[in-house]
Amino acid sequence: DQQVKQNSPSLSVQEGRISILNCDYTNSMFDYFLWYKKYPAEGPTFLISISSIKDKNEDGRFTVFLNKSAKHLSLHIVPSQPGDSAVYFCAASDDSGAGSYQLTFGKGTKLSVIP
């Protein structure tokens, strides 16, 4: 049961270029989408989120795009920096009624930014 899918396990990008990480979902009840970044031996770190009522959210070098009709979102990082090298997780949540908004994660995409 893969409600959140990240089909690219890895991505390599040159420093200064754009990184585009993709995510697809199947559950139309998801209301919120988040991107987390994870370094080895650390917990996931929040990057950016978007509500289903929006189609774009920007924060500095990071922009998330949401296409609800295609059930697809993407994270753009521009310009990419070597410090961005990490595993990026797409996550989604919905209000199941209890207010806890637990996250459903994708498998992650390992981004390598080459100097």
Partner 1 sequence: EPEVTQTPSHQVTQMGQEVILRCVPISNHLYFYWYRQILGQKVEFLVSFYNNEISEKSEIFDDQFSVERPDGSNFTLKIRSTKLEDSAMYFCASTSGTSGGLNTQYFGPGTRLTVL
Query: Using CB under 8 A as the criterion, which residues of the chain lie in contact with partner 1 when the complex forms?
Result: 31-32, 34, 36, 41-46, 49, 51, 89, 91, 93-96, 98-108
Q: How far is the CB of 93 from partner 1 (least distance, A)?
A: 5
Q: Which is nearer to partner 1, 59 or 114 (CB)?
A: 59
Q: Which is nearer to partner 1, 12 or 31 (CB)?
A: 31
Q: Which residues contact 3 (CB under 8 A, 6 or more apart)?
A: 25, 26, 27, 30, 92, 104
Q: Which is nearer to partner 1, 8 or 104 (CB)?
A: 104
* Contact predicate 108/11, CB 8 Å: no
Distance CA 87, CA 37 (A): 6
